[in-house]
Amino acid sequence: MDWKAVLDSQPSEEQVKSVLEALGAVNLNEPTPELLAAFSTLVNQTIFDLPALSYEGVFQSITGLGCIISQLGILMNSVNQSPRIPVLVSLLESVFDRQTLIRDLWIAKPNEAQAIFVGSRLLSTTSMLKSDTWVADGKQYSAWVAAQLLVFDPPALLVDKTFKLGYARDAFLAFLASPEKFKHCLHSMRPAQQRYAFAHGGFPSLEYLTVESSAAILKYLDPSIDLVALAQQFPLSLRLASACIVKDFVAVTRKLLSSWGDRAAIQTVSMAYQAAQTQILVSLACHMSAQDAKVIMGSMEFISAISHRLESLSERARSMGTLVADMLSQKAGDKLKFAMESGEWNFQVYTPRPLADALAELKAPKHPELELTPAPITAEKGSDDEGGPAGDSDDEEDEKPVAQPVYIKTLLEYLSSDSYEQIQSGLQYGSQLIYRKADFGTEVHQYAPELLVLLAGLGDKFNIRNFSELRQQIMTAILVVDYTQGELVAKLALTGDLSLFQRMSLMSTMVLAAKELSNYVEPEVAASKLLPEAQHKTFAKDIDSIVYSLQDRLVLDTKAKMTEELGGPQVLRVSKKLQLQKGPSRGTNKFAKIAARYFFFPLAAHRPRRAGDYTPMILGHLLKTLGLLIYYAYPSNDMPDIVSELLDMLVVLSGTEPVLIEAAYTALLVLCDVAGGILVSRYPQKLAALYDWARQSWQDVPDERVQKLGAGVVLRLGDLVEQISKMLEG
């Protein structure tokens, strides 16, 4: 039978059925010219002329799928979206209904099946679709591929490429639907493939579970890789989980001590990363036996690591050394005793829970710190905060004015409600209530986490006037009264399921709270072209206005040099009316003592682990926030450590994006202003690298305001580099 001739002759349904039956009797996975011609007619004409027929049987083949994908690609690249696309998409969905599709096609044609399902051919085409089909959703598609692989014994290559489709977390969760089969798949993979699967899929899937549940799943899967080494770049819960399931505590601890105690690493590795390593060592010490602790304390790795830590110029690095030494000595029963501050670290011993319970939590995880729409709290009957007697009608209750909240619990209830009046009242009086309650009992501290989570994701569904400002005032008040919540705010800002504006608002909240805690007094600065005059007349309500004001002040003292050395067409000249202002005046800086632990390092700990983790806008806001936190923390004893951390981020993130360039300039001006001596004495190489970058970048900035900012940075850094040269010359 000439299939194409029949299909081209305006066939009846019976004739098409005959062709489909004939096609089903041949090997459709070996494309021939005749087959390709028949399938071309099917996808170009027949399925649209006779849509009621069932075509999926013949298209569940290498040839059939290839023709659908090719035709979709052609139609997608046309000027106008063809009405034929939905028909082809529907056909593709019905083809994918076959539970053993990948297995059957892999057995028939491995290379072609791999190219279609876990290569870029199919997903790159369907991702351009504008329909709501699941085959165009990379997350759902990756989960479908994983489910397909679980029905047979797939080669490691297919499993590995499934994780590399770009949606590793969704694939990992789908694989866990059958833990036993998934474990077998993992053990067939090479260590490098396993490491990728856990780094991009496993740990991101488990990071919001309890430590006991994460540990249970990791222990069951038992990959042949060092989970402790991998966990160092992930959140605390995963570091604790990986530490409690170690099989050979001596080997793992000695290996970690080698990198943690390396003299060069202590000086150059980010302090957030060193803190992560320290927490793992603490957790390992909590779970190991006394005999293991004695063996470790007698090793050269331990002796060298502690010696290098105690020799460090960084107070934080030294404190980490004393902490680990004390933990291991106590575990070993020795008399060695260091004074240590334990509030920052987790010393709990964890036991993995039953696997079934862990998987149940994975299917319906509860993340109270990240649930951004908590259920409204029901007020107790008879409370003074109730709207009226139980017998009042709904109309009377609606008409009665909402009382001003007098308890934090009532404030939480108001902000959780669907009532315009209650939300408005809560926003209007919330910050006043929190400050008023600060010195009375623990009410603010009790409800602070829940309030912050609620406010972080609270939307303006009633278009309330000054909604954003009032919302931020409440969050700032909470953070001022209970500064320990800085860790939660940092986590929400960079890991919560929030909008861009909400993330930036949380970081601004940290800055505003830091400013208030530091007793910072805003100096009077004349209006300039760096800062619009209107902004000088308004109290700084967000991070941008604070940044503009700070940029204005820090650039003023370079105005003479900017005119003399960098004058000309490149630089916008500074008005003669601008007067150099002295540094900010402060009272007792309470923030200096808490900045590193509760604000700076929690935020820095969530900095991007991979390229593309955050948008340039978020990264720019993060750099500005960290810079301002350092500014308000001066003169903290932790300055060397937080300066080092910010320098590392600037070296990596400065880049060429305009928003990142401005943020980097701002952060560098702050460092020059409050930490010039530290930059010169401790970090001359990083300083020189950033100076070279600033010199190369500032003249190419299109924005005149930012260009002048860059000129100020070049001069400030140039002065510091000159100091380094003089020191070297003796």
Residues 347, 421: one domain?
Answer: no
- C-alpha 574, offset from chain centre: 40
pLDDT at res. 197: 95
In whole angstroms, what is the distance from residue 457 CA to residue 138 CA? 26
Q: Which residues of the chain have pLDDT under 70?
A: 1, 79-81, 335-343, 364-401, 521-587, 608-613, 654-655, 730
Say what the pLDDT of residue 535 is.
35
Are 619 and 658 contacting, i.e. CB atoms less than 8 angstroms apart? no
Report the domain count for the chain: 4
75 touches 82 (CB < 8 A):
yes
Write down the pLDDT at residue 387.
39
| Residue 339 located in a structural domain | yes
| 149 falls within a domain | no
Q: How far apart are CA 319 and CA 338, in angstroms?
A: 9
Q: Does residue 424 share a domain with residue 465? A: yes
Tell me, yes or no, whether 192 lies in a domain.
Answer: no
pTM of the model: 0.68
Question: Does residue 423 belong to any structural domain of this protein?
Answer: yes
578 within some domain: yes
Give the end of a domain, one of 108, 136, 164: 136
Identify the pLDDT of residue 730.
61
Note whether 223 and 325 are same-domain residues. yes
**What pLDDT, on a 0 to 100 scale, did the predictor assign at position 174?**
95
Q: Are residues 351 and 375 in the same domain?
A: no
Residue 357 shares a structural domain with residue 458 = no
98 and 23 in a common domain: yes
| Domain presence at residue 49 | yes
Whether residues 323 and 420 fall in one domain: no
DSSP H helix total and E strand total for the chain = 43, 2
Please name the residue that has the structure tokens 């202002």. Answer: 581
Residues 94 and 16 in one domain: yes
Q: Write the CA distances from 250 to 222, 532, 626, 716, integer angstroms.
A: 18, 61, 38, 49
The pLDDT value recorded for residue 565 is 45
Place of tokens 């004695």: 294
- Please report the pLDDT score of residue 382 as a whole number: 36
**Residue after which a domain boundary falls, among 85, 119, 136:** 136
Q: What is the Cα–Cα distance from 213 to 519, expressed in whole angstroms?
A: 44
| Residue 565 and residue 417 in one domain | no
Question: Considering the domain boundaries, does residue 161 fall inside one?
Answer: no
Helical H segments across 203-311, by residue range? 203-206, 211-221, 227-231, 236-244, 249-260, 263-268, 271-287, 290-297, 300-311
Confidence at residue 653, expressed as pLDDT on a 0 to 100 scale: 73
The residue from 136, 164, 196 where one domain ends is 136
pLDDT of 550 reads 67
530 and 434 in a common domain = no
Q: Which structural domain range is residue 18 located in? A: 1-136
Q: Kindly give, in sequence order, each residue whose CB lies less than 8 Å from that of residue 279, ignoring residues fewer than 6 positions away.
A: 236, 239, 240, 345, 346
Specify whether the CB–CB gap between 250 and 296 falls below 8 A. yes
Residue 187 lies in a domain: no
End-to-end CA gap in the chain: 95
Do 376 and 333 share a domain, yes or no? no
- Tokens describing residue 492: 């929400």
One domain, residues 344 and 376: no
